[in-house]
Amino acid sequence: MGRALLTDLYELRMAASFRRRGMDAPATFSLFVRDLPPERGFLVACGLDRCLEYLEGLAVDDDDLDALTALGLDDLTTAALAGLRFTGDVWAVPEGRVVFANEPLLEVTAPIAEAQLVETYLLNQLTFATSIASKAARARLAARDKALVDFAFRRTHGAEAAMTVARASAIVGFAATSNVEAAHRFGLRATGTMAHSYVEAFDSEQKAFRAFAEDNAANAILLVDTYDTVGGVRNAIAVITQLGLGDSAGIRLDSGDLASLARDARRMLDDAGLTATQIFASGGLDEYAIADLLTAGAPIDAFGVGTRMGVSEDAPSLESVYKLVAYDDRPVMKLSTGKATTPGPKQVFRGPQGDVVALRDESPPVGAEPLLVPVMRGGRKTHFDSLAAAHDRFESDLHHLPEPAKQIRNPSPPPVVTSAAADALTTAVHQQLIGRDHAPEV
């Protein structure tokens, strides 16, 4: 699809109007999440890679202009959009970093028409990837040292969403994905077991297990709950023993009381000498269920996490915004009820005392590190990253995250303060706007 059409119509209308009026001064927009959902103690920045790829490739071409004309835009508007590309600078928090509400994830500085046009896509990509990475990170916390596998593909919001989910969950430490295209595209480990349908296609469960184990001897995970779970475990033990696959095989539980079934299965496997045979659990799992299973001492070695992580079931969106904070060197803000924003380009300094949202050009507090780094200059990417580096950043930030933020139930994020200079600027701009706009200008 043409990148220039991947936007809301109002972005194009505003961009055209700015260009028709010669308003080409630089504007800075700040993208951040206003409030965390109650079920989140932190967010994990994700989605930057696709944003930079989009910005580099954005160009309004003749096909786009024809499409816009067909949609009813007038000639002056389409003419004003001709040739538009993204030529600006971007600062952003690298993928994998832990962030909180009101901390800019990304700031764009560009001629205002360009900076405006990209709002829709940047919000779309960062909001979704960040919400999934944040949800998946909680599964990672709940699972402790157990392995996690992304099983979400069948229930994500389309196939492209499944790719984002696989990538985001890998960044926060999922060991593998069931998603073949994502594994291929991002260099992830793909894993897969078997479905009930495979068992049902054979005359008996044991024949099905034997066929699957013969054809997949290197990694035969047998699904034992098609008919009766305890009977299924018994059939699996028979096949694993006959084929001598104890070290490479496993069983999967997908329904019922997983804690109790896992204990029964572990005992049966151990009694048969299959102490290395792993127990895999799946079926409606999320961080809450995983935490409960491990607290209950369920002997489960790996968890398949699907739908609830893949759609971020308890918080399927984030309250992300992309706000103009400066135009032509003038800090700006809006005053709408409950939606006022801090003006000016920003930086987030993370230090021993916690995070400070400051103005971009402030000096960092002693011992503090800036979270936003330059990632694009003059429309060209200057930040080259890898999934492994993003994962390392996540692990390091997770290590330093206060315990209350990491709680699965009733988490609470650490306080984030605004710098004195940012507060002073907010007050000054606020006063100026109130003085100006309360009197009608008719």
Q: Which of residues 196-235 bind a copy of itself (CB under 8 A)?
A: 196-201, 204-206, 211-212, 215-216, 218, 225-229, 231, 234-235
> By CB under 8 A, is residue 256 in contact with a copy of itself?
yes
Q: Name the residue nearer to a copy of itself (CB basis): 87 or 120.
A: 120
> By CB under 8 A, is residue 435 in contact with a copy of itself?
no
> By CB under 8 A, is residue 75 in contact with a copy of itself?
no
What count of other Cβ atoms lies within 10 Å of the Cβ of residue 173? 18
Q: Name the residue nearer to a copy of itself (CB basis): 67 or 373.
A: 67
CA distances from 283 to 163, 259, 297, 392 (A): 21, 13, 18, 29
Which residues between 28 and 47 bind a copy of itself (CB under 8 A)? 29
Name the token pair of 301.
């070695």
> By CB under 8 A, is residue 278 in contact with a copy of itself?
no
The piece of 103-111, 114-122, 137-145, 381-389 that touches a copy of itself (CB under 8 A) is 114-122
> By CB under 8 A, is residue 178 in contact with a copy of itself?
yes
The piece of 183-191, 293-301, 362-370, 414-422 that touches a copy of itself (CB under 8 A) is 183-191
Contacts of residue 232, defined as CB under 8 A and 6 or more positions apart, other chains included, come to 205, 222, 223, 224, 225, 226, 251
Which residues between 303 and 322 bind a copy of itself (CB under 8 A)? 307-308, 310-313, 316-318, 320, 322
> By CB under 8 A, is residue 121 in contact with a copy of itself?
yes
Quote the least distance from Cβ 244 to a copy of itself, whole Å. Answer: 16
Quote the least distance from Cβ 42 to a copy of itself, whole Å. Answer: 20
> By CB under 8 A, is residue 8 in contact with a copy of itself?
yes
Burial class (CB in 10 A: 0-12, 13-18, 19+), 366: exposed
DSSP state of 153: G
Pattern 325-364, a copy of itself, x by CB under 8 A: --x----xxxxxxxx-------------------------
Segment (H or E) for 406: helix 403-406
> By CB under 8 A, is residue 297 in contact with a copy of itself?
no
> By CB under 8 A, is residue 116 in contact with a copy of itself?
yes
Quote the least distance from Cβ 26 to a copy of itself, whole Å. Answer: 11
Terminal alpha carbon distance of the chain: 45
- Given a contact cutoff of 8 angstroms between Cβ atoms, the answer to whether 291 and 385 are in contact is no
Please tell me the distance from the alpha carbon of residue 284 to that of residue 257, in angstroms, as a whole number.
12
Alpha carbons within 13 A on the beta-carbon side of 10:
2
Name the token pair of 396.
């390091």
Q: Name the residue nearer to a copy of itself (CB basis): 227 or 402.
A: 227
Buried b (16+ CB within 10 A) or exposed e, 246-265: bebbbbbbbeeebbebbbbb
2, 273, 297, 402: residue in contact with a copy of itself (rule CB under 8 A):
2
Q: Name the residue nearer to a copy of itself (CB basis): 399 or 436.
A: 436
Please tell me the distance from the alpha carbon of residue 98 to that of residue 78, in angstroms, as a whole number.
41
**What are the beta bridge partners of residue 423?**
none
The piece of 176-184, 350-358, 374-382, 413-421 that touches a copy of itself (CB under 8 A) is 176-184
- Given a contact cutoff of 8 angstroms between Cβ atoms, the answer to whether 360 and 344 are in contact is yes
Which residues between 133 and 152 bind a copy of itself (CB under 8 A)? 151
